[in-house]
A and B are shown apart, each in its own frame.
Chain A
């Protein structure tokens, strides 16, 4: 469409200009238990932006880096009163057999995570594995006794849509903050 026509259409409220963060797909539902054994589902966080990660507490690979980088985002958000209550962090276990709610509580303590804005999730293996598959995630035993898995972090907008998927190697704090602001500023 010609830029002038596009501007007119936008002004008339007929359509939104395309965002640089495309709608990748609806975020699949999650029905698991949090670290305090309370049932949680994704719709509990409707109207918030979510950063969804997949980790396991005994990981000696990329999970500590994932949690550490998310913690930096969390710390930065604490300095931004306009944003901090509008963003929630969900870390879903890739190893539900070992990651009991008690293990998740210990993991939170290890990372000094006391925030009500960061929830760790686990559940019955079948329920947890369904969540992994629905999100396009997987974990399988590696030769070193650990779990092999992709290291992705998902940005979910307040309407429950996946808008960005970050690779851990390129998970840059300023970029993530910009993306969070963008999806929270949308009507």
Chain B
């Protein structure tokens, strides 16, 4: 190897070894923000389903004249979609906006003008080519999007996954194993070549008011997949309704976490020496833990407990001794969260599903993550009931 090439190689390794800013709970293939967030995107359901659903843009630049204001509403063109989760493509140029009631997927350009996202395309009957419905989790792969669907195209089971190009063309379906017919989240650890999927319920059940839910029709399975082969390897049991899947961020820690909504608990899955995985309950949480977030240093988990109106901060540095270190009461029915890349702030919304919300006081709030625990930023409250179209249920949120 020549001297020149050796130098270039060293430079290449040095650049790759530089610590990246650690925005958590995104696909590892998504380009990370290299600066503090300027905008919060909130994916909104028009509360009475009479007006069109939309994406709201909130300016969070402290020195901006429009700080803490909704500076743009991207009309998605239709109502009653139950806009729920959305996610960046790998290059962070677009968002795939998914829906739980309409099987539509919205492709949104956030690169041309991050302050004014544009609707590029709407995929009607998006799961149709795979025989699937209720697109739930968008998970970026390089140049593609992996999507977990909650239902078949008839609204029942089995759920499944499908891959799409970044411009929305169907590539292939991944079928759930027969002993794990429910779907919910998906998360990949490429270095381990493992993917995990979780379980909720299906459209024909969750479309009903919560009082009419069939609580026997929820899954409790986690599935471990060989990611490169796209092949299910092992079905594991967790508490009822394991929702978010979060692989540990620590290199060498072959484990991950899930919040079991109907078991009111956190569970952990752990890789064993023989390559198999096991699960166990990590701790009991508040009532109906609906979202789970990680601190960039892998030390803390943040759990929003929808029915007990709290966000819990758990120290999981010792998986045998999880410790509740802080509890925040941000207001009624806290739900989706997003931790900033520096691990110092967390944004919180408070709508789960139009069939499950018990309050119409919708907001976006911010908590500060301090050495003493979570503290509500009293100076930052976005009222989500005062849009020109009336109140909106803000569910998922992204930072840009």
The answer to the question of B211 belonging to the interface, with a C-beta cut-off of 8 Å to chain A, is: no
| A170 contact from B166, B191, B231, Cβ within 8 A | B191
Of A2-10, A62-70, A117-125, the one with at least 4 CB within 8 A of chain B: A62-70
Write the nearest CB–CB distance from B143 to chain A, whole angstroms: 4
The answer to the question of A82 belonging to the interface, with a C-beta cut-off of 8 Å to chain B, is: no
Q: In the complex, what residues of B have CB within 8 A of residue A170's CB?
A: 28-29, 190-191
| Docked CA distance A170–B144 (Å) | 15
Closest to B29 in A: A167
Q: Which of A69, A136, A138, A152 has the most CB of B within 10 A?
A: A136
Closest to B229 in A: A20
| B11 contact from A18, A20, A64, A152, Cβ within 8 A | A64
Q: In the complex, what residues of B have CB within 8 A of residue A69's CB?
A: 12
| Docked CA distance A151–B15 (Å) | 13
Q: In the complex, what residues of B have CB within 8 A of residue A166's CB?
A: 142
The answer to the question of A44 belonging to the interface, with a C-beta cut-off of 8 Å to chain B, is: no
Within 8 A of A (CB), among B150-177: 163, 165-167, 169, 171-172
| B91 contact from A20, A109, A150, A168, Cβ within 8 A | A150
| A110 contact from B8, B15, B167, Cβ within 8 A | B8
| Docked CA distance A61–B11 (Å) | 9
Do A24 and B9 form a contact, CB below 8 Å, given A136-B143, A165-B142, A170-B190?
A: no
| Docked CA distance A155–B166 (Å) | 17
The answer to the question of B228 belonging to the interface, with a C-beta cut-off of 8 Å to chain A, is: yes
Do A138 and B15 form a contact, CB below 8 Å, given A110-B5, A112-B2?
A: no
Q: Are B172 and A65 interface neighbours, CB within 8 A? A: no
Closest to B189 in A: A170
The answer to the question of B1 belonging to the interface, with a C-beta cut-off of 8 Å to chain A, is: yes
Task: Give the number of residues in B that approach A within 8 Å (Cβ atoms).
Answer: 35
Do A167 and B90 form a contact, CB below 8 Å, given A20-B228, A65-B15?
A: yes
| Docked CA distance A109–B5 (Å) | 9
Type the 1/0 row for A65-81, where 1 means its CB is closer than 8 Å to any CB of B: 10111000000000000
The answer to the question of B230 belonging to the interface, with a C-beta cut-off of 8 Å to chain A, is: yes
Task: Give the number of residues in A that approach B within 8 Å (Cβ atoms).
Answer: 30
Write the nearest CB–CB distance from B87 to chain A, whole angstroms: 16
Write the nearest CB–CB distance from B163 to chain A, whole angstroms: 7
The answer to the question of B319 belonging to the interface, with a C-beta cut-off of 8 Å to chain A, is: no
Within 8 A of B (CB), among A121-178: 136, 138, 150, 152, 154, 165-170, 175
Q: In the complex, what residues of A have CB within 8 A of residue B141's CB?
A: 165
| A150 contact from B31, B165, B191, Cβ within 8 A | B31
The answer to the question of B273 belonging to the interface, with a C-beta cut-off of 8 Å to chain A, is: no
| Docked CA distance A109–B3 (Å) | 12
Q: Which of B2, B4, B144, B230 has the most CB of A within 10 A?
A: B144
The answer to the question of B52 belonging to the interface, with a C-beta cut-off of 8 Å to chain A, is: no
| A167 contact from B12, B142, B228, Cβ within 8 A | B142
Within 8 A of A (CB), among B22-59: 28-29, 31
| Docked CA distance A168–B13 (Å) | 12
The answer to the question of B327 belonging to the interface, with a C-beta cut-off of 8 Å to chain A, is: no
Within 8 A of A (CB), among B301-355: none
Write the nearest CB–CB distance from B228 to chain A, whole angstroms: 6
Q: Are A68 and B8 interface neighbours, CB within 8 A? A: yes
Q: Are B12 and A24 interface neighbours, CB within 8 A? A: no
| B143 contact from A24, A138, A168, Cβ within 8 A | A24
Q: Which of A61, A110, A168, A170 has the most CB of B within 10 A?
A: A170
Q: What are 30 of the A-B contact pairs (CB < 8 Å)? A: A18-B172, A20-B229, A22-B171, A23-B171, A24-B143, A24-B144, A60-B11, A60-B15, A61-B15, A64-B8, A64-B15, A65-B12, A65-B13, A67-B12, A68-B13, A69-B12, A110-B8, A112-B4, A138-B93, A150-B91, A152-B90, A152-B143, A165-B143, A167-B29, A167-B90, A167-B190, A169-B16, A169-B190, A170-B190, A170-B191
Taking A24-B171, A138-B91, A169-B29 as known contacts, 15 extra A-B pairs with beta carbons closer than 8 A to each other, sorted by chain A number, are A23-B171, A24-B144, A60-B11, A64-B15, A110-B5, A112-B2, A150-B90, A150-B91, A154-B143, A165-B141, A167-B142, A169-B16, A169-B28, A170-B29, A170-B190
A interface with B by C-beta (< 8 Å):
18, 20, 22-25, 60-62, 64-65, 67-69, 109-112, 136, 138, 150, 152, 154, 165-170, 175
